Amino acid sequence: MDGWIEKLPAGTQRRVHDLLAGRNVVVRVVRPRRSKLGDHRPPGRGHAAHRISVNEDLNPYAFLTTLLHEIAHVATWERLRHRVRRYPPHGREWKEEFGAILEPFAAEALLPPDIARALAAFMRNPSAASCTDRGLALALAEYDRHDVERRRVEELPPGSLFRVVTGRVFRLGPRLRSRYQCFEHPGGAEYRVHGLSRVEAIADSRLRRAASPPVSG
The predicted structure's pLDDT at residue 129: 61
Shared domain check, 158 and 62: no
Q: At residue 59, what is the residue type?
A: N
The predicted structure's pLDDT at residue 211: 47
Shared domain check, 24 and 95: yes
Q: Which of 97, 121, 141 is the last residue of a domain?
A: 141
Q: Mind listing the pLDDT tens digit of every residue in the chain (217 residues)?
A: 578 999 999 999 999 999 999 999 999 999 988 778 899 999 998 899 999 999 998 999 999 999 999 999 999 999 998 888 888 888 999 999 998 998 888 888 888 999 988 888 888 877 666 656 778 888 888 888 766 567 889 889 999 999 987 788 999 999 987 789 999 998 999 998 888 788 899 987 555 555 444 444 4
What domain range is 159 assigned to?
Answer: 150-211
**Residue 100 is assigned to a structural domain of this protein:** yes
The number of distinct structural domains making up the chain is 2
Q: At residue 10, what is the residue type?
A: A
Element (H, E) at 64: helix 60-80
Shared domain check, 154 and 50: no
Q: Which of 99, 121, 141 is the last residue of a domain?
A: 141
Shared domain check, 129 and 160: no
Q: Which of 141, 168, 185 is the last residue of a domain?
A: 141
The predicted structure's pLDDT at residue 144: 83
The predicted structure's pLDDT at residue 14: 92
∠ CA 127-23-60, rounded to 5°:
50
Report helix angle 60-80 to 134-141, nearest 10.
140
The predicted structure's pLDDT at residue 212: 46
**Residue 216 is assigned to a structural domain of this protein:** no
Full-model pTM? 0.74
According to DSSP, the residues that pair with 170 across neighbouring strands are 162, 184
